[in-house]
Structure 1
Amino acid sequence: METLNFAIANWSQILARGWEHISLVGVAVSIAILTGVPIGILITQSRVAADRVLYGAAIIMTIPSIAFFGLLIPVLSPIGQGIGYLPAVIALIFYSQLPIIRNTYTAIMNIDPALREAARGMGMTAFQRLREVELPVALPVIINGVRNAVVLNIAIATIATYIGAGGLGVFISRGISQTDPRQLITGAIAVSVLAILADLGLLLLQRRLTPVGLRQS
């Protein structure tokens, strides 16, 4: 009951921090899509390049988020951005790469060769095949990678509060430092609800964009 009363009394602050959280994740994942999808498409041309890129992205995923934020402080300090919004977004962009690149690569590689041959038989160029045939078929799998990146980054962005990036993690950090379970629980529930809503929203988008012939009954 105390936690509920705290949440009601601080509802406007929860919404403000929630918007900060959405901003961090939204900007980072948007940039990651613009970089990760083209990379995923390009590496389909070379198995060696694919192995190296995916391995490098996997290594980034093993770096603890608080350590990654710390590594960015001396890098960005010369331009006065060692802490705050910018390093948080940069770190989240890197953490988004693996699921987006991997799913794009996997989706393109698993397209039925018969579809490509049919497209060639119609006289399509490589770019036309990519745009008209391969990407529409691969899109649901790519969006699934985006879903994974969004949910992952919602969790990681919680840690970004320790470098002054704001977000819902503020409630969790304050709850820990002030030994206040009301703030801790409020922050944890808010992050969980945000992750669930984002995942469900992207799941609906994924199903909507799945070609009718590929939908499971």
Structure 2
Amino acid sequence: MNLFLEALAWIFAPEQWSGAASIGTAVGVHLAYTAVSVVIAALIAVPLGWLIGHTGRGREIAVVISGAARAVPSFGLLILLVLLFGVLNRPEASVVTFVLLAIPSILAGAYAGVEAVDRAVRDSGRAMGMTEWQVLWRIEVPLGLPLLVAGLRSATLQVVATVTIAAYVALGGLGQYIIAGIPLRRYDMVLGGALLIIALALLLDLLFAVLQRVAVPRGLRAGRAARDTRRTTSAPTAPPTTDRTPVPS
């Protein structure tokens, strides 16, 4: 308990919020690496996932690649790419690492969202004269958006956690407090850095949870609400009980 209080005292100390090595700067660096990596991964994975989900081709390959990428240890991949790119190109190596880790979740969310659309709905669009592009963009993408946001949510949380190790190659972020505090035995700093990373991850998770809810089309939300209302009103009620206790004579 004392260590927890010391960590909170370290976080809210005025000197931690001023200067080039302030917590605000570290949060900005952490968010910058996360945002850049997720955006690049989305630009690669979302169109590919939509194509796989719409055509049904290459799904097995995508599943295998996604599973293999998730099994790669992030720390080992970061060190390998830093050695391959060179010490002077550490930011580029780190971003490539984070992008490779974010792609599987986004790819899975993109093609799973399109695949989950009812075939009858697609056929109805084609019967109305829609082209394949219109079916994809007007039917499959809006209906599959919640699963895509779920994939982005999972990828973002994974990248936020992984950006922590970027401090090991001197790239800053919130992980620098953990890396610097361990050899100094500043456990208040170590725990404080961990708490900041947890708080940032929870905040981003909450944001994506709201976006995932908003991404559900209004028609589907109205349909679900109507079904829930019908279930509530049609639920059987227990018959009234009568007291049949005999009255003593």
Query: Which TM-score applies when normalising by structure 2?
Result: 0.81
Distance (whole Å) between structure 2 residues aligned to residue 22 and residue 71 of structure 1: 23
Structure having the larger proportion of residues in helix: 1
RMSD (Å), alpha carbons: 1.5
**Is there any run of 5+ residues in structure 2 with no aligned partner, and where?**
226-249
Q: Counterpart of 1:157?
A: 163
Structure 1 position 77, deviation (Å): 1.7
Q: Counterpart of 1:77?
A: 86
SS of the residue 2:130 aligns to: coil
Whether 1:2 and 2:6 are equivalent positions in the alignment is yes
Q: 1:175-212, CA deviations, whole angstroms, 9 ceiling, x for partnerless residues?
A: 21211111111110000000000011111111112112
- Between 1:205-214 and 1:195-204, the stretch displaced more is 205-214
Alignment partner of 1:118 out of 124, 127, 133: 124
Query: Which TM-score applies when normalising by structure 1?
Result: 0.93
Q: Counterpart of 2:74?
A: 65
Structure scoring higher RCO (CA < 8 A, sep ≥ 6) equals: 1
Distance (whole Å) between structure 2 residues aligned to residue 117 and residue 52 of structure 1: 26
Q: 1:94-147, CA deviations, whole angstroms, 9 ceiling, x for partnerless residues?
A: 101111111111111110111111111111111111111110000011000000
Structure 1 position 3, deviation (Å): 2.1
- On the 8 A contact 1:54/1:101 being kept in 2, the answer is no
Whether 1:16 and 2:25 are equivalent positions in the alignment is yes
Distance (whole Å) between structure 2 residues aligned to residue 124 and residue 199 of structure 1: 37
After TM superposition, list the pairs within 5 Å mapping 1:22-41 onto structure 2.
22-41=31-50
- On the 8 A contact 1:41/1:104 being kept in 2, the answer is yes
Alignment partner of 2:190 out of 177, 184, 199: 184
Distance (whole Å) between structure 2 residues aligned to residue 58 and residue 22 of structure 1: 26
Distance (whole Å) between structure 2 residues aligned to residue 145 and residue 65 of structure 1: 18
Distance (whole Å) between structure 2 residues aligned to residue 160 and residue 214 of structure 1: 41
Query: Percent identity over the alignment?
Result: 32
Structure 1 position 42, deviation (Å): 2.1
Alignment partner of 1:103 out of 101, 109, 114: 109
- Between 1:169-178 and 1:20-29, the stretch displaced more is 169-178
**Is there any run of 5+ residues in structure 1 with no aligned partner, and where?**
none
Alignment partner of 1:91 out of 83, 97, 102: 97
- On the 8 A contact 2:82/2:94 being kept in 1, the answer is no
Letter of the structure 2 residue corresponding to residue 20 of structure 1: V
Distance (whole Å) between structure 2 residues aligned to residue 176 and residue 214 of structure 1: 51
**Between Structure 1 and Structure 2, how many residues are aligned?**
213
Letter of the structure 2 residue corresponding to residue 55 of structure 1: V
